[in-house]
Amino acid sequence: MSSFIEVQNGVFHAVCPLDCPDQCGLLLHKEDGKIVKVEGDPRHPVTKGHICNKVRNMLERIHDEHRLKYPLKRIGSKGKGNFTPISWEEALHTITSRWKELIKSDGPESILPYSFYGNMGRLSAEGMDRRFWNYLGASRLDRTICSSAGSAGYQYTMGGSLGIDPEDTFHSKLFIFWGINAASTNMHQVAMAQKARKQHGAKIIVIDVHKNQTGKLADWFIPILPGTDSALALGMMHILFAENLVDHDFLQKYTVGHEELREHVKQYDPANVSTITGVPVEDIYKLARMYGETSPSFIRMGNGPQHHDNGGMFVRTVACLPALTGHWLVKGGGAIKGNSAFLAPNTKSLQRPDLLKNKQTRMINMNQLGEALLTLDPPVKSLYVYGSNPALVAPSSNKVRKGLEREDLFLVVHDLFLTETAKYADIVLPATSSFENTDLYTSYWHHYAQIQQPVIAPYEESKSNVDVFRLLAKEMGFHDVAAFKETEVEMITGALNNPRNSFLEGIDYDSLVERQYMKAKVKPLFPGTLPTPSGKIELYSERMKQDGYPPLPTYIPLVDEGDHRYQFVPGPNHNFLNSTFSNNRKHISLEKEPRLHMNRFDALAAGIEEGEIVRVWNNRGECELKVTVGDNVLPGVVVSQGLWADTVGKSGDGVKATKHLMNALTPDRIADMGGGAVFFSGRVSVKKI
């Protein structure tokens, strides 16, 4: 296995490990064994050397004095953050002897893993860990916090996570950014759109509940009421059929159910749709006509509308639009919701589901962690958290934290920092940064795979996820299981050898190391056959009907949360990545402070002025935030951005202390499909303090 740890000076290839579609190629500059600069690698075919500010300032994190150095044992009460260093030997022994006892007394399902993609490396995020949990027989975690509602909706319609090649989108003449703050969350897609605008006059439309950085760069920003996007898409279909702006030949050849759909959308007349969405009737006509008449047009669907009660149906519905115009056939036309199917690895080899003996092992939805910790019977007695910070990022945080406080819960947290979650832990383990590991990276937007090789030595006593699960397996006595002894390179080789995915052909470890960027063997989806039951785009889906959904795309209103006046949309911000960077001074100073955006008519009516602190509350919890008054949100909607660390405002970073745990307010209901999260479907009241 090659590693650059020994080389003291030079420039080394690296991969951005963050949960971001762009998955940039990086260059790490090393002096005297330390990374001194992080920049973009100009050789990456898509990201071309341009990276975001977050990662340009990544060194703040890698060399942060607050990084965890050794394993820790809690000495004070849960949540207070008092710990004492212990050896790895003691840490591993404490964890595994507790688990052995629990397995004897309560069975392995009393143990629950909780993880997400703090590091997108395939081995770190879903490799050795999955093997370990499978073999242990622990409760299974349904990893639904991000985009699973929309993925299910897209799957019903298109059969899998398959969109167009983002490199082709340059040829599009109309870009619709639909519920995606791409200027912050997919910057290279925005760069592509801006290049197309400059070079051949492409137009950029943004449909959002908040005129943020992305809305501001649009040629046309369309504000919409939260959770009503399916109605807008159905209104567009109504007009497209009525004005014969559809491609009959495409509908005939590549879709099922277009006749049923044509009848069905008659009920979504633009006047009704306008009442539902808050989009003026004439704008609905203008949008539908622009979409129908501009070829090719491209829709980039974001996570915003997916984080609603009807998030699955949003994607399901919008995914039908390019089928009506047939733009899938034109280079640059179609849609992207996600592209993860193209580089899908061999998960059977990587995760070894065969090691799970009891296929009935209970499954717990990660969006209901609080509920699970507080009410499940038989109870969860031990929780092991890695690559995620649920005390900050999971919905209904007050419940989550109450669950984490349980005296009888044995909590282990593996992270680079003493996160909000780690403060509740019995044992804390220090994690390496991705630049200290070997791992495989595959983007869920562009089509390039990359390998990370260790560039620096593990920081102090920190260890990678793969190493920790290997050690846990050994300490548990799983000696005769070969899966726990594989090297990183063997794991990557197995993952890349996927007979079920022909797009991966020719990509292997050695060639990736040699060439750094290798593209999946993609081809346009049309003409072609989709992995749906009919092989076509399912405008009418028999499978949805069987699963209890309307078989045709349908607008279903959000759950009625009663009296609170405002719809509350707490999304991510520009300079953090979820909660990552929210504890780094540089990133906090760039983002300044937590804010609540409010429409000026609402503010006037409530007697609230710019910069005042308000109390924001509902029956789940409360925050105290500084208000920004303006026209960037519609009346009846309030928006905050960023998942802010508890310590912000309390740690000398120049920010005034406010109560800013946004997820204290968010519902832990489950979306219509895929067990998805509904962060943005909650309502709140707001009052000046």
Ligand X SMILES: Nc1nc2c(c(=O)[nH]1)N[C@H]1C(S)=C(S)[C@@H](COP(=O)(O)OP(=O)(O)OC[C@H]3O[C@@H](n4cnc5c(=O)[nH]c(N)nc54)[C@H](O)[C@@H]3O)O[C@H]1N2
Q: Which residue is nearest to ligand X (CB)?
A: 304
Judged by CB under 6 A, which of 14, 20, 320, 525 binds ligand SF4?
Answer: 20
CA atoms within 13 A on the CB side of 85: 8
| Closer CB to ligand SF4, 365 or 452, in the complex | 452
Locate tokens 């962060």: which residue? 679
Count of residues of this chain found to bind Mo ion when the rule CB under 5 A is applied: 1
Contact flag: residue 392 with Mo ion (CB under 5 A): no
Cα gap 512→510, rounded to integer Å: 5
- Binding partner of residue 212 among ligand X, Mo ion, ligand SF4, none, CB under 5 to 8 Å per kind? ligand X
- Asked if 51 touches ligand SF4 (CB under 6 A), the answer is yes
**Which residue is it, tokens 């089509």?**
447
Q: Which does 51 bind (CB under 5 to 8 A by kind): ligand X, Mo ion, ligand SF4, none?
A: ligand SF4
Burial of 60 (0-12, 13-18, 19+ CB in 10 A): middle
**Does residue 302 interact with ligand X by CB under 6 A?**
yes
* Residue 680 engages ligand X in binding (rule: CB under 6 A): yes
Tell which one of 161, 277, 351, 389 touches ligand X (CB under 6 A): 389
What minimum distance in Å lies between the beta carbon of 185 and ligand SF4? 8
Strand partners, 519: 448
Binding of ligand X at residue 447 (CB under 6 A)?
Answer: no
Is residue 152 near ligand SF4 by the rule CB under 6 A?
A: no
Residue 501 has φ and ψ, to the nearest 5°, of -130, 95
Task: Give the C-alpha separation, 673 to 626, whole Å.
Answer: 35
Binding ligand X (rule: CB under 6 A), the pick from 255, 274, 351, 578 is 578
Cβ atoms of 314 and 93 closer than 8 Å: no
Binding mask 146-175 for Mo ion (x = CB under 5 A): x-----------------------------
**3-state class (DSSP) for residue 365:** strand
Which of 13, 19, 318, 540 binds ligand X (CB under 6 A)? It is 19
Smallest gap, in angstroms, from Cβ of residue 357 to ligand X?
26
Q: How far is the CB of 667 from ligand SF4 (least distance, A)?
A: 28
The separation between the first and the last C-alpha atoms of the chain, rounded to the nearest angstrom, is 60
Comparing CB distances to ligand SF4, the nearer of 190 and 202 is 190
Kindly tell me which of 424 and 576 has the beta carbon lying closer to ligand X: 576
* 330-345 core/surface letters (b: 16 or more CB in 10 A; e: else): bebbbbbbbbbbbbbb
Is 149 near ligand SF4 (CB under 6 A)?
A: no
Q: Is 393 in the site for ligand X (CB under 6 A)?
A: yes
Question: Distance (Å, rounded) from C-alpha 290 to C-alpha 443?
Answer: 31
Q: Which does 207 bind (CB under 5 to 8 A by kind): Mo ion, ligand X, ligand SF4, none?
A: ligand X
d(CA 591, CA 594): 8
List the interface residues with ligand SF4, window 180-199 (CB under 6 A). Answer: 187
Contacts of 172 (CB under 8 A, 6+ apart): 193, 196, 202, 296, 297, 298, 332, 333
Answer yes or no whether residue 417 interacts with ligand X by CB under 6 A: yes
Tokens of 236: 């567009």
CA 423 distance to own-chain centroid = 24
DSSP code of 336? E
One DSSP character per residue, 512-536 reads HHHHS-EE-----SSSS--SSTTSS
Residue 24 touches which member of Mo ion, ligand SF4, ligand X, none, C-beta under 5-8 Å by kind: ligand SF4
Mark 93-121 as b/e (b = at least 16 C-beta within 10 Å): ebbbebbeebbeeebbbbbbbbbbbbbbb
Name residue, tokens 């699955």: 312
Q: What single letter denotes the amino acid at residue 348?
A: K
C-beta closer to ligand X: residue 116 or 526: 116
List residues binding ligand SF4 (CB under 6 A).
Answer: 16, 18, 20, 22-24, 51-52, 54-55, 187
List residues binding ligand X (CB under 6 A).
Answer: 19-20, 116-119, 124, 145-147, 178-181, 184-185, 207-210, 212, 224, 226-227, 229, 302-305, 308, 386-389, 393, 414-417, 419, 431, 434, 465, 569-572, 574, 576-580, 643, 662-663, 666, 679-680
